[in-house]
Amino acid sequence: MAIVYEMLLNYPIPEVRQVLRWQDVALYNFSIGLGQDPMDEKQLDFLYEPRLKVMPSMPVVLASPGFWSRNPDTGIVWQQILHGEQGLILHKPLPTEGEVIGRSRITGLVDRGEGKGALMYSEREIVDAKTGEVLATSTSTSFMRGNGGFGGPSGPVKKPHPEPERAPDVTLDLATRPEQALVYRLNADLNPLHIDPAVAKQAGFPQPILHGLCTFGTVCHGLLRSLCDYDTARFGRMDLRFSSPVFPGETIRTEIWKEEGGAAFRARVVERDKVVVSNGLFRYA
């Protein structure tokens, strides 16, 4: 079944409710690398329940509808989907306990032509189930390599945030753990690409790769540490483009340029000098 433009644009992605426990918060924070120095008091704030804080990137894993694009009636060739871009806006401080609702929708489809793939833009609002307040908005761009030529519009295409040509103002290296993907998947992303060596080899990788959203969280940690001194209330918005996968155990170097209204950033793995995140935009108080 090929993509039917109007049908996919209005596809009924299931609403999801999730009960959030402090243990979920601590697991998420640990899974993106917090706590590697157990004597770092500021990192312990994200792991120790009496004073627990939520890393601002956590909404990307909350109340997720799962891999709905595998449903045959979407027309999507799900085996050829790539997670191209990720964004997040934080509207309210995130609770460490409570119930949240995830409401997802497709916001745009771009047909790049036969054999050239297509872009799918989507967003998920994370809502406090008790108050009805929107806590966060998560946005993503998926590159559907197997779905070009369905007769959809050729735009508009989201423009990437420009990267400065000068040397970065701030750099920060954060190591990932060799087993980090095994922990991160417990947040609900059970794609075997991140745990099964055989599946990784079938996909063309020498070993399982780190989840893109784990890289997102690690870079968020770098930005929060470098620019906000771990003050989560200062986080506003974060957008980036995924350029290449990270292998668990590699070191992620976040390169930051201060600019009016916030910062631009990118990230690379130190061991291979490979850019893994590009065209980053960060807004903070």
List the catalytic residues.
189, 194, 209, 212
Q: How far is CA 168 from the centre of its chain?
A: 23
8 Å CB contact between 223 and 258:
no
Strand partners, 269: 252, 274
Q: How many CA atoms lie within 13 A of 38 on its CB side?
A: 0
8 Å CB contact between 41 and 123:
no
CA distances from 183 to 14, 197, 238, 251 (A): 26, 16, 24, 17
